[in-house]
């Protein structure tokens, strides 16, 4: 018998008593602005379907076609017999879209971040992370043996301090979310990239919440700040604006991507991305270029929603991102809402 069962029951009760119990709501149809649930049709304000492409007919058509032409799955990791032509096509398409040298696909951005730091950093190196970075970055850093430094959220003076404190490291790697998913604020990449150049540090940006819709043409946070050529590595996802299914990627300097193919454990020991998702990802990127008004509409809708919520008397955090935190100041009421 499991000896710690009582402890687990106690922990579960503590979560429920604190009003933090996560309840999964069942959706009985496809993702969209309006979704069908067990309680009827509702307006959906909480998905990361930023461009409305999760159930777009062209995306579904591409996925259906790939099922017929490339099958359901590969039953293999990439380097054995799990690489199809469409995987290389998607990697090339992402590189073209983001103006980078090369790209490597993962089954999720969590895996992309999980396999990043241990590939490049050892005990003689240092990794410097924003205190509000995503859980996948935090877990990825835990897997590497580099010295760890954490700077106060978006505080450039504190980042400068960390870079100075780590001046004796062989490699200094600064990592930040491009957009912080709990707050909707953008990392000041213009200032961060300038500090990285000054200190000869590598800059890594997780752009999961901006790829496809932030920046003039949807190229992400680096485009928004005009520093696309000053970011060494971008990790991101196909699971939000880019179709919303699953899949992640790392893109950037050619030599760095090549080393990830040789040593990144989530890449080497996980099955390849499903053909339907891969083909849909290619079509999504084509659609963004073919229909630039989607990016413009997302940005104008965000402004309209922010202004409307403010007029309605809600306390929201300022910004330009579709993630709009509504401050309730009560855990239980927040979970109920």
Active-site residue (options: 55, 152, 153, 181): 181
Residues 6+ apart with CB under 8 A from 50: 212, 213, 240, 241, 298, 322
Q: Which of 134, 149, 224, 240 is catalytic?
A: 240
CB-based contact 306:316 (threshold 8 Å): yes
Q: In what order do the strands lie in the sheet with 126-130?
A: 102-106, 248-252, 233-237, 202-206, 172-177, 126-130, 147-151
| Structure token pair of residue 205 | 């940006």
User: Which residues pair with residue 58 across a beta bridge?
Assistant: none
From the number of C-beta atoms within 10 Å of its C-beta (0-12, 13-18, 19+), residue 25 rates as exposed
Catalytic site residue 75?
no
Give, in order, the Cα–Cα distances in Å from 205 to each of 38, 70, 82, 115: 39, 32, 28, 14
Read out DSSP for 50-61?
Answer: TTS-TT-HHHHH
| Catalytic residue, candidates 209, 224, 236, 321 | 209
Contacts of 296 (CB under 8 A, 6+ apart): none
Contact 187, 231 (CB under 8 A): no
For the question of residue 108 being annotated catalytic, the response is: no
> Annotated catalytic, 208?
no
Residue 233, CB-side half-sphere exposure with 13 Å CA sphere: 27
Question: For 34-106, where are the alpha helices, taking DSSP H only?
Answer: 57-70, 78-81, 85-98
Active-site positions? 181, 209, 240
């Amino acid at each position: 018998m499991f000896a710690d069962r009582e402890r687990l029951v106690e922990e579960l009760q503590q979560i429920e008593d604190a009003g933090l119990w996560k309840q999964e709501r069942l959706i009985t149809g496809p993702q969209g602005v309006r979704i069908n649930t067990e309680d009827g049709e509702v307006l959906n304000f909480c998905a990361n379907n930023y461009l409305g492409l999760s159930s777009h007919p062209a995306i579904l058509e591409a996925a259906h076609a790939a099922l017929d032409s490339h099958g359901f799955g590969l039953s293999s990791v990439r380097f054995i017999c799990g690489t199809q032509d469409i995987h290389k096509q998607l990697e090339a398409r992402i590189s073209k879209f983001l103006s980078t040298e090369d790209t490597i696909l993962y089954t999720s951005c969590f895996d992309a971040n999980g396999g990043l730091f241990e590939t490049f950093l050892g005990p003689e190196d240092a990794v410097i992370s924003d205190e509000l970075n995503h859980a996948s970055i935090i877990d990825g850093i835990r897997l590497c043996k580099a010295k760890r430094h954490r700077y106060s959220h978006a505080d450039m003076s504190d980042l400068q301090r960390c870079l100075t404190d780590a001046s004796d490291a062989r490699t200094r790697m600064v990592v930040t979310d491009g957009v912080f998913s709990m707050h909707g604020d953008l990392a000041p990449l213009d200032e961060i990239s300038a500090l990285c150049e000054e200190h000869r540090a590598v800059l890594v940006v997780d752009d999961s919440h901006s790829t496809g819709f932030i920046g003039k043409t949807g190229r992400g946070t680096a485009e928004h700040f005009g520093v696309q050529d000053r970011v060494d590595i971008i990790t991101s996802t196909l699971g939000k604006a880019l179709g919303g299914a699953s899949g992640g990627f790392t893109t950037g300097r050619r030599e760095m991507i090549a080393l990830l193919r040789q040593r990144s454990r989530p890449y080497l020991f996980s099955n390849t991305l499903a053909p339907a998702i891969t083909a849909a990802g290619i079509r999504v990127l084509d659609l963004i270029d073919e229909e630039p008004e989607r990016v413009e509409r997302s940005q104008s809708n965000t402004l309209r929603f922010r202004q409307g919520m403010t007029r309605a008397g809600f306390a929201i955090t300022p910004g330009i991102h579709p993630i709009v935190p509504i401050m309730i100041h009560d855990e239980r009421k927040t979970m109920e809402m």
